[in-house]
Every structure is written in structure tokens, then in C-alpha cells.
Structure 1
Amino acid sequence: MNRVASRFLAGAAMLGSAVALVGGASSLSAETAVPAPAAVVTTPAATGRETAIFAGGCFWGVQGVFQHVKGVESAVSGFTGGSAATAHYERVSEGDTGHAESVRVVFDPRVVSYADLLRIYFSVVADPTQLNAQGPDTGTQYRSALFPSDARQTRVARAYLEQLRQAKLWQRPIVTQIERAQPFYPAEGYHQDYLTLHPDSPYIRVNDLPKVVALKRMYPQSWRARPALVRG
């Protein structure tokens, strides 16, 4: 067994233990763990793969949730919104590069649609009412933002945001922005698969594992137990 496989099995076992420890409870706030409605406006299922980019706070949790969604073939942590020269974790963390910590999701639209991913995003991934922040993290690099890859995704994202605003699910205004498609830069290797490899991290246990628990509880039809890891 190679080192990556060994670390994955150990991490998966620890993740299972941590999820069991969290149980049905969640540290997500009542506002954050909102079962968002299905999108009214969707796109027809395509025959090929699609790509979409989501930003919603620290990319560890965003990646960790989407890796457990059926139909997601890869979810890579990285940076979107700035230049290649500043697409490095330490530099982005200064908060003035224009980048957002983000996750590039490649998915099979015959299994999970972009609209489905949006529903999961707004239900358990990010609190859309926090401006330039998510949980304990603050700064523009932690903003809630969608980066649709084409006109179809943009149309669905705009319609869904309006649908959510009309539904008034949150007490505070939705501040999630739709930003133009921009280059995506993968983060350093040690950031990839972080939730699975480090489920015992206090940050992960408090801020991110509850999101994975919420995904399984709220959308069991979309749940996959084995995550789609970057390291295979």
C-alpha cells in the first residue's frame, strides 16, 4: 500500500469517527444550515463534463463537502480573482490580491446539475449573509462568491440568487456575488484533501465536519461516502 492510500484510509477512518462524534448535532448556525429550495431555473443535462468554481470561506471545508457529492469527479482547492503572480497561500492571506479561496469542481451533469450544486452550496457550504467572512475567517479572500464558467451557469446562478432572496430564508440580506469567470490557480499540495487527511484538526472538527454531516443528513440522495480525492 502506497503512502497516499495509507493516509487516505487512516484519514477516512478518523473522519468516520469524527462524524460519529459530531452525530446529528452541528456547529452550523440555524441560519447557515438552511435547506435551500430546488432551483426553478436549471440547465439541461449535458453529455460532457462541466466545471464550476465556488468560493465560500476557507477552501478546506468547501472542498471537503463537494468531494462527498455524487457526480463530482474532482474538487480542487485554489485561488480565483487575482493574478498568477500572487496566487500563493501566504500572499493571498494578506487579503489584498483580489483572490478568493475557492474550489474548482468538475462534475457530471447527468448525475448532479449545476443547480444541484448551488443548492448544496447555499444549504451547507457557506453562509451567504456574511460579507467578506465565513465563520472565524475574515477578509476579501474569504468572500462568498460564484464564478460561473459560461452563460448558462450565469443564468442559473442569477435566477437562483433571486429565488433565494424572494424566499427570505435568512434574516439578513444575501451578499453572495456572481463574479466573471477568471483563471483558477490550484493551491499548494498540502491544502488538497485537507479535511479527509486532517479530521482531527480542531479547525476542521469545529468549522468543517459539521458541514459534511449536514450534507449527509439533508441530501442523502447526493451523498457519497468515499470522497473524490485530488490524490486519488
Structure 2
Amino acid sequence: AFFDFYEPANQLGGDYFDYVALRDGRLGVVLADVSGKGISAALLVSRLSAEVRYSLASQPSPGAAMARVNRVFCKPRWQDRFITMGLGVVDLERHQVTLVNAGHMSPVLHGRDETCEVVSHDASGLPLGVELDMEYRETTISLAPGESLTWYSDGITEAMNHENRLYGRQRLFDRIKGSDEGDVIALGERILGDVRQFVGNRAQSDDMCLVCLGRQG
């Protein structure tokens, strides 16, 4: 089961989120954050969307797809712009997810024993558009019944209240730990409700994106 939420801070957000159906039946989950705001960021997101879809269709692996997208954004026309991106390719039959990370927030695995583990943090590569020959490592995990995987953008953890305090990763982890096994709808709504309660009436300053994938027990 999936839960997803995306809300830009303004009409031209710099976050990108998408599902990409692959020909072999697997599903790509993409979260990205482009540098800058406004029209220039929106144009960059549009190009990124096209390149991600083409790369996932044409390359032999998620790591190779990420490397191809990186080469595109290392070209001179994109100089001084960079993108953080997290990619997950989900095999729904095998209950496996292959993760590749280009400097984005690492996803969180919630186990049945109430543990929260940051996945593939050590395998994270540089953001897209920084180093031409960057190779991106893959991490494959299996979801057991009752486990879930949560992707998020920094708009969640850096949400700020009226006292200028950040929501933070620890509070996010605490909300994930308290969730029902594999019920990602309840998990997503729990996180968003807590973020809204924390922020109060302060205006949203950054795009927010949250994606939860779970295998029910």
C-alpha cells in the first residue's frame, strides 16, 4: 500500500515527486529537490521529470538511470544548478525495493519491532549536476509483513514553528515508531497531522513531500 502527499510552498514549487511504471511491472518512486525557486526551478523540474522517465526506461538498472540523469545535468547549460534526488524501484511481487540516492534525505525503514532505521545513508552519492563521472550505488531491501518505508523532503523536517524551532528528524522518527504495522495511510496522516500541529499558523516556507510504502501484516 502507498500513501503520498505533496504540497508546494508556492504555485511554482522546487520539489518533484512522481511514480513511474516500468515495463517489467516494477514501479519507480522518485523524490527530488531542485535548487532555486520560481519559474527557473519549475523549468528544471519539468526537464528532470522527462529525463528520469527516459532513463528508467532505457537504462539497465536504477543506479545506471541515476548516473545518466546526472550526466544530463552536468552539462554547461545547467551550470550552478544542482538537484538532490532519491529513487526507489519497487518490486511488488517480491516485496523488494532497490534504492539509489543522490544527496537526498534517506528513507526510513520501520520494522515490526518498533525500530527506525535510516536506509542507504552511507551509500548516498553527490547531488545531480555536481560530478560528471559519479557512480551511484544501489541498496536493495526486503519489506517483511508489517514493515514500512518512508521517504520525505526537508520541507517536513525543517518545518518551523512560531518559536523558530525545527520539526526535526527525531520527532519524525517518533511518529513513525508509533504507527500501526504496515498501515501507511494512518502513518502518513499521523505525520502530517503532527507537522501541522507543530507549525501552527506559521506560513509554510518550503515544499513538503511525503511518501510511505508498506507491506501489511
- TM tier, smaller: under 0.3
- Higher-strand-fraction structure: 2
**TM-score, normalising length: structure 2:** 0.24
Identify which of structures 1 and 2 has the higher relative contact order when contacts are C-alpha pairs closer than 8 Å and 6+ apart. 1
- Higher-helix-fraction structure: 1
